[in-house]
Structure 1
Amino acid sequence: MCSKVYAVGVGMTEFVKPNSLRDYPEFGKEAVEKALTDAGVTYDVIEQAVCGYVYGNSACGQRVLYQVGMTGVPVHNVNNHGATGGTALHFAHRLVQAGAHVVLALGFEKMTAGALPATAYPDRTYPADIHIKKMLEIVKLEKAPIAAQCFGNAAKEHMEKYGTTEAQFAKIAVKNHRNGSANPYALNRNVYTLEEILNSKRVFGPLTKLQCCANCDGAAAVVLMSEQAVARHNLASKAVEIVGIALATDTNAVFTDTTRLRIAGYDMTALAADQVYKTTGVSPREVDVVELHDCFSSNELITYEALRLCEEGKGGAFVDAGLNTYGGQVVVNPSGGLLAKGNPIGATGLAQCAELVWQLRGEAGARQVSNARIGLQHNLGLGGAVVVAIYRKGFDNKNQRDFPSSHQKFKMAAKDGKIRAKI
């Protein structure tokens, strides 16, 4: 049986516009020191570290961590595009399950302004070239950023198949920017009306500028511990269990079917979600709070369905019914998500982790989700990779909620049927 794994310390920097005077070593150091302080431990207890970043040379993780301590521990550097932060977390989680007691996961990025370039290395094959080629078998290439075309074309397909409207996508941006206004770490803390979202500069398809995440600089970190280490360091009050975590990649269906939704990662998200629901016994209807990879508003709506938060094709109705926010079925992106908080790619997945830990501890301030007990994380990268994780509040039986019995699951399934009937 795998050991339990707990997040006991989290930290992140404010996410800021690219070309700030700060470099990645400074961002990374700040996030690590905040996570260690939150856990109440020093760097010398760290047994291994996993560092995620996309834009940088090799051994950037060592360059950051040597500022905090040089103890000779293994430092693993990982890159999995948009899912890099989640991949670092997944790796660190596995290290604890394999026998390590204290592992650090860190993500950081220093980016350029504007849309991401098609590739940072024009002299070699672009990793997602086969995805782009498949998309171009279905639609024509247009003058817009490639990522926006991938997710914008997925939005167009959803609209064609299910009648989803531009306003439904835009409502997600309204929600996330409103939530981000209460997040001191967010890049953009402005609140926008639906009209302002819809009337901002058109980028591609139904997507306007305020429905697209922005590049930024920043870092986030988490200290993971085994059950024994939590007890040894007397950190039960801080501990949030990462009950299950799955890393999935694309299946062959991406290239054999003519669907733009699969190119945007729908299938691999569903695969990872189904894995964690099965291994943890948690139902989608038990989830109280979600940090979801809303690189574009369309991806949030589509991902509701891939995560089984609502039925396929019902994402638009889910939005209109307010089931995706405070007072609804589940609160999605209380942090403001990538749309408001920004997307320093390597740090994004670990910033999601930090938000869920704060939410489950009851430390999220003005954006706190009432009675949050179970959280879900979704971190996506085209080309492709996705990490889905389930978090649960508490360390011992007095603090944590038990998973439902078969009778309780039956009752929830019945309730689920009613919810689906409404939307």
Structure 2
Amino acid sequence: MTVAIEGVGTSGFGRQPDVDLVDLAFAAVDEAFRDAGGPRTVDAVWVGTVFGPAGVAQRVLRAMGLTGMPVLTVENACASGTTAFAEACEAVRTGRYGRVLALGIERMGDGAIVPEPTDPEGRTGLALPALYAMAAARWLHEGRTTLEQLAAVAVKNKANALANPRAPFGGRFTVAEVLASRPIADPLTLLQCCPTSDGAAAAIVGRGGSGGGGVRVRSVALRSGAPWNHRSREVWGHDLVRDTGAAAFAAAGLGPEDVDVAEVHDAFTIGELVTTAALGLKAPHIVNPSGGLLSRGHPLGATGLAQLAEIVWQLRGRAGGRQVGRARIGLVETMGGGVSVLDGNACVVAVLEAP
């Protein structure tokens, strides 16, 4: 059965201390329904959030008049939003539901993420910036990248964001300015790390809508990490992204050479380099035309669906000044955090096709 994205929407992004979670979600869902057209109804709702309070999905949906239907909240670290999307797609594909809302929401400006006291990473101080910094240091050691190439990712993505009103952390920077910004976890500097951001993003998943203009979902793959093979020359996260991408390409009947535009998880600059290598994406692929997480920020539950919205706009030819030619095939990749001894917590890769 054909699965299509009928509508997408997002809230604004950035620090928004005066905007509560319900208002963020309402903005995203309202835009998604307006984008989809037709009745403002769905058969079920999947919500992705990491730190949303208990009952957050029902609280948000009650404010929108979406009650009396199945609602499921999922947590899968940074891949929570795209996990909700993957489950929504499966529900439509199997015929369980005809139209499903996938919503990702998060407020990150309320304080630091404190690790559990029993978490091995918490005891050793191995927070995600340090984990990504270790990957960057390894690539530098092996000669697979340079400090300047790492910084160039930030230069590119922040410049891309100047054409994206939903990416508040864009700007024009030089490689030297990126490298001279405040050290965070050597060799990563401040401008190579995603900023703190609040936000929401939504997608209406169905069978294409009455106008037949829905972006087709060729495939969605969701995987958790395997035990980290310390004998592997590859850094943390590479193998999980590689395997998830391979599953998505196989299900779509396509390969990395078919991709015209991609949004990948650039929470840190090294993340974009490792991810594109793991997926087999090479120049002239256009990666993160939205500005990525480096420019939008990273509201965990919303990030993946915000990436998805960008690819939908690209495939419709409605991305404005950041439009990538006549893109036909788009890819979304979201990497979800780290868990002790695993090569990543979760990864989602979706392959989409223009109407």
* TM bracket (short chain): over 0.9
CA contact (8 A) 1:8 1:235 kept: no
CA contact (8 A) 2:332 2:350 kept: yes
Give the number of equivalent residue pairs: 348
Q: Which structure 1 residue ranges, 5 or more long, are not aligned? A: 311-322, 324-328, 395-423
Amino acid at match of 1:205: D
CA contact (8 A) 1:10 1:222 kept: yes
Q: Does 1:309 align with 2:263?
A: no
| In structure 1, distance between residues paired with 2:350 and 2:185 | 31
| Cα RMSD, aligned residues only | 1.8
CA contact (8 A) 2:157 2:170 kept: no
What's the secondary structure of 1:105's corresponding residue? strand
Alignment match, 2:141: 160
1:69-121 Cα offsets, whole Å, 9 max, x none, are 2441101001111111111111111111121110000001111367x4342x5
Alignment match, 1:247: 222
Q: Does 1:365 align with 2:300?
A: no
Shift of 1:235: 2.5
Amino acid at match of 1:29: F
| In structure 2, distance between residues paired with 1:146 and 1:82 | 14
Q: Does 1:83 align with 2:83?
A: no
Q: Which structure 2 residue ranges, 5 or more long, are not aligned? A: 340-344
What's the secondary structure of 2:63's corresponding residue? coil
Alignment match, 2:342: none
What's the secondary structure of 1:221's corresponding residue? strand
What's the secondary structure of 1:181's corresponding residue? helix
Shift of 1:56: 2.0
| Distance 1:163-1:39 versus aligned 2 partners, 3 A rule | closer
What's the secondary structure of 1:66's corresponding residue? helix
Bigger radius of gyration:
1
Correspondence list, 1:1-400, <5 A? 3-18=1-16, 20-43=17-40, 45-99=41-95, 100-112=97-109, 116-119=112-115, 122=117, 125-126=118-119, 129=120, 132=121, 146-226=127-207, 230=208, 233-237=209-213, 239-252=214-227, 254=228, 256-258=229-231, 261-262=234-235, 264-310=236-282, 323=283, 329-382=284-337, 383=339, 384-394=345-355
CA contact (8 A) 1:172 1:297 kept: yes
Q: TM-score, normalised by structure 1?
A: 0.79
| In structure 2, distance between residues paired with 1:222 and 1:36 | 9
| In structure 2, distance between residues paired with 1:7 and 1:387 | 16
Amino acid at match of 2:346: A
| In structure 2, distance between residues paired with 1:22 and 1:260 | 45
Alignment match, 1:414: none
CA contact (8 A) 1:154 1:260 kept: no
| In structure 2, distance between residues paired with 1:260 and 1:166 | 20
| In structure 1, distance between residues paired with 2:263 and 2:312 | 11
Amino acid at match of 2:256: P
Amino acid at match of 2:28: A
Shift of 1:190: 1.9
Q: TM-score, normalised by structure 2?
A: 0.94
What's the secondary structure of 2:164's corresponding residue? coil
CA contact (8 A) 2:161 2:289 kept: yes
CA contact (8 A) 1:118 1:146 kept: no
1:361-392 Cα offsets, whole Å, 9 max, x none, are 00000000001100000001123000001000
